[in-house]
């Protein structure tokens, strides 16, 4: 077999060091962290008995000189155990399959795949980024700073509340919003009174409040996050604290402007209260986050009670008891459910004086103290039906206490085990899904009760 020289000038067939091809043949030439593949072909004998090399060496992979010599970094010289393409003096034994060339990164185990008369060896190559952080990474950092998964609750809850208000008790200007669209013989040809833009404007404002709250919280939790959540954008250095703080205040100002220009005074007032709660939760000297039980209340009140009422007031009468009753259930549920995020955060919270239930009372007592709030609030549903606040079909929602019991079971089982896909534990994920499910379920129940059954 002809040996390939890796010293001196470039030999024919040698890969261009500036272009490394992956398995599909795409060249990887840009800076940044990426993985590619380098093909190394070995001649495979068509006969199982003899090797067709000029020296007549045996095909047996464990015997012969030079055919299976270990490849050195500079090539040309083979040696030791195993087989390499470049030749040299080989020893007896099996080929060393862990031997790969280092090109811009750590060693990778080759992946040998049979070809037509050839043995094709694919070696994974990793190239490390050593330049300045690029703009897309900064953009992703901003996106992660807002914690998009947590924005699903105000998004879905706001839409469900607004649609529910249209069906139950809309404001006078939206009285015909649910009428069927129709065509006109003159301009405008198509007429539809459904307030799509008002819903987008109002719900987008609620989402923006939560995005601003998440951002400003990470600014003042930087030292805690270095311990609890080091993969967040600020501890990783992707976003600076000053950049994050500026972003949060920009979001707050846009939120305030959107609420003030919305033709609904009740909605604007509730949004203003929401903003104040989110600021007082994170920003010193108030920093309600540090205070036992008050921390839970300062999350449950704006995100549970006031958040749902704000969504309702986009299109509906804010003095109707229904949104306040459903918001009360959410508020009581979140008093206990917000503790689900505190179990995995205990190390940093304890060091910096954040007095959460797990830090003050320990894991087991914290679960026992939170458990009633995960089940009992849903037993207000029968009371609401009996008082006429909820429609009789709302009995369907009584599956929620069973889900709450399962959540308690998860807390005892894995409250301190982080979920690999989210920042907190699986119980924290269930808490959000339960809240969203309740809003969707009640809207569906109302549709069935009013228009189908």
Q: pTM here?
A: 0.69
Q: How far apart are CA 231 and CA 144, in angstroms?
A: 10
Q: How far apart are CA 138 and CA 144, in angstroms?
A: 10
- In the chain, CATH 1.10.600 covers 135-452
Contact 167, 446 (CB under 8 A): yes
Q: How far apart are CA 389 and CA 325, in angstroms?
A: 8
Nearest 5 degrees, angle CA 384-CA 385-CA 387?
65
Q: How far apart are CA 418 and CA 429, in angstroms?
A: 10
Residues of the chain with pLDDT under 70: 1-135, 419-422, 453
Query: What is the 3 state secondary structure string of 44-77?
Result: CCCCCCCCCCCCCCCCCCCCCCCCCCEECCCCCC
Helix axes 152-168, 321-337, angle to 10 degrees: 160
Architecture of domain 135-452: Orthogonal Bundle (1.10)
Q: How far apart are CA 292 and CA 288, in angstroms?
A: 9
Longest CA–CA separation in the chain, Å: 97
Q: How far apart are CA 279 and CA 76, in angstroms?
A: 67
Q: What are phi and psi of 123, to 5 degrees?
A: -115, 120
pLDDT on residue 420: 65
Query: What is the 3 state secondary structure string of the chain?
Result: CCCCCCCCCCCCCCCCCCCEECCCCCEECCCCCEEEEEEEEEECCCCCCCCCCCCCCCCCCCCCCCCCCEECCCCCCEECCCCCCCCCCCCCCCCCCCCCCCCCCCCCCCEEEECCCEEEEEEEEEECCCCCCCHHHHHHHHHHHCCHHHHHHHHHHHHHHHHHHHHHCECHHHCCCCCCCEECCCCCCEECCCCHHHHHHHHHHHHHHHHHHHHHHHHHCHHHHHHHCCCCCCCCCCCCHHHHHHHHHHHHHHHHHHHHHCCCHHHHHHHHHHHHHHHHHHCCCCCHHHCCCHHHHHHHHHHHHHHHHHHHHCCECCCCHHHHHHHHHHHHHHHHHHHHHCCCCHHHHHHCCCCCHHHHHCHHHHHHHHHHHHHHHHHHHHHHHHCCCCCHHHHHHHHHHHHHHHHHHHHHHHCCCECCCCCCEHHHHHHHHHHHHHHHHHHHHHHHHHHHC
> What distance, in Å, lies between the first and last C-alpha atoms of the chain?
82
| Own/partner long-range contacts of 354-360 (Cβ < 8 Å, ≥24 apart) | 354/224, 354/289, 354/290, 354/295, 355/290, 355/291, 355/292, 355/295, 356/292, 356/295, 357/292, 357/296, 360/292
452 exposure class (CB count in 10 Å sphere: 0-12, 13-18, 19+): exposed
User: Any residues with CB less than 8 A from the CB of 81 and at least 6 apart, and which?
Assistant: 70, 91, 92, 93, 94, 95, 96
pLDDT on residue 453: 65
Strand 78-79 with 190-191, pairing: unpaired
Buried b (16+ CB within 10 A) or exposed e, 278-306: bbbbbbeeeebbbbeeebbbbbbbbbbbb
């Amino acid at each position: 077999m002809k040996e390939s020289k890796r010293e001196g000038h470039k030999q024919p067939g040698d890969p261009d060091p500036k272009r490394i091809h992956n398995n599909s043949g795409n060249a990887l030439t840009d800076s940044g962290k990426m993985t590619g593949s380098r093909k190394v072909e070995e001649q495979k004998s068509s006969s199982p008995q003899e090797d067709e090399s000029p020296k007549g060496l045996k095909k047996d992979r464990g015997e012969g000189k030079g055919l299976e010599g270990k490849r050195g970094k500079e090539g040309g010289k083979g040696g030791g155990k195993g087989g390499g393409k470049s030749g040299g003096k080989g020893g007896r034994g099996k080929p060393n399959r862990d031997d790969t060339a280092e090109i811009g990164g750590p060693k990778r185990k080759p992946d040998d795949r049979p070809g037509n008369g050839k043995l094709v060896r694919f070696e994974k190559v990793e190239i490390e980024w050593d330049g300045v952080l690029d703009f897309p990474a900064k953009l992703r950092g901003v996106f992660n700073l807002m914690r998009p998964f947590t924005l699903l609750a105000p998004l879905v809850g706001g839409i469900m509340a607004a649609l529910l208000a249209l069906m139950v008790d809309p404001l006078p200007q939206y009285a015909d919003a649910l009428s069927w669209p129709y065509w006109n013989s003159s301009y405008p040809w198509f007429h539809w009174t459904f307030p799509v833009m008002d819903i987008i404007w109002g719900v987008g404002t609620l989402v923006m409040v939560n995005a601003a709250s998440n951002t400003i919280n990470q600014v003042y939790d930087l030292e805690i996050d270095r311990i609890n959540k080091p993969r967040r954008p600020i501890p990783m250095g992707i976003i600076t604290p000053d950049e994050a703080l500026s972003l949060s205040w920009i979001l707050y100002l846009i939120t305030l402007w959107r609420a003030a220009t919305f033709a609904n005074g009740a909605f604007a007032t509730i949004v203003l209260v929401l903003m104040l709660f989110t600021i007082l939760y994170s920003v010193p000297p108030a920093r309600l986050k540090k205070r036992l039980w008050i921390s839970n209340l300062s999350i449950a009140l704006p995100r549970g009670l006031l958040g749902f009422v704000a969504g309702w007031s986009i299109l509906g009468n804010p003095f109707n008891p229904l949104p306040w009753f459903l918001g009360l259930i959410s508020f009581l549920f979140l008093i206990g459910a917000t503790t689900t995020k505190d179990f995995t955060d205990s190390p940093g919270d304890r060091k910096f004086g954040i007095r959460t239930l797990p830090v003050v009372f320990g894991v087991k007592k914290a679960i026992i103290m939170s458990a009633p709030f995960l089940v009992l609030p849903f037993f207000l549903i029968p009371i609401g039906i009996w008082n006429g606040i909820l429609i009789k079909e709302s009995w369907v929602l009584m599956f929620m206490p069973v889900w709450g019991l399962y959540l308690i079971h998860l807390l005892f089982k894995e409250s301190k085990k982080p979920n690999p896909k989210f920042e907190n534990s699986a119980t924290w994920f269930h808490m959000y899904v339960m809240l969203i499910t309740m809003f969707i379920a009640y809207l569906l129940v109302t549709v069935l009760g009013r228009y189908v059954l």
